[in-house]
Amino acid sequence: MEQNFVIRNCGLEQLDEIIDMERETIEILPQPDMLRRNSLEMWRCCLQPPHRCTGVWVGEKMVAFAVLYIPLEGSEEDLSPLLLHSVDTPSANYKICIVRPEWRGNHLQVLLGRCLEDEARRRGIRVLCSTASPKNEASIRSLLQLGYSYDQTLEKYGFERNLYYKML
């Protein structure tokens, strides 16, 4: 069915809705280690500059969102130093994407990934990093469709994660 998806940036006014979507998503995960729960502090951070959270709305309802996260160099969130394919250029993370269950199947992770990529390019970022659980086939397919390359499988956030990168 053709849908009227509206893309808008999110701010702190979306905090409650986003936490609600995260809770709803975690409750129905096929495997509990597929997604880590973010702290309230992390969500507040993601919803404010320099980070960028972009959402998709259908009417009044936000049905999906994703985050471009600009890590502080050397912080635990900085994925680029972990890359086997070493890079020495400004990087950021395609950190998280959640699509409400009833709206999956519309490639919204790819759509949001493209928007956030454009934003990253505008900021002079040349590498995007992302992780996905090896069990998360939908997320892996989306990252590959966005043109990310697989780097390695490692332990991150206490879970097994595939690390991906994309040169912009």
> Exactly one of 10, 18, 35, 163 binds ligand COA (CB under 6 A); which one?
35
Least distance between ligand COA and beta carbon 88 (Å):
26
Measure CA 102 to chain center: 19
Is 93 a binder of ligand COA (CB under 6 A)? no
Interface with ligand COA includes 79 (CB under 6 A)? Answer: no
Candidate residues 109, 117, 162, 163; the one interacting with ligand COA per rule CB under 6 A: 109
Q: Is 91 in the site for ligand COA (CB under 6 A)?
A: no
**Separation CA 168–CA 164 (nearest Å):** 13
Using the rule CB under 6 A, is 136 a contact of ligand COA? Answer: yes
Q: Which of 10, 63, 98, 129 binds ligand COA (CB under 6 A)?
A: 98
d(CA 101, CA 90): 34
Give φ, ψ of 96 to 5 degrees.
Answer: -150, 150
| Cβ distance to ligand COA smaller for residue 16 or 137 | 137
> What CA–CA distance (Å, rounded) separates 73 from 69?
12
Is 105 among the residues that bind ligand COA (CB under 6 A)? yes
Report in angstroms the alpha-carbon separations of 90 from 56, 74, 79, 133: 27, 12, 11, 25
122 in helix, strand or coil?
helix
Binding site for ligand COA (CB under 6 A): 25, 34-35, 96-99, 104-109, 132, 136-139, 141-142
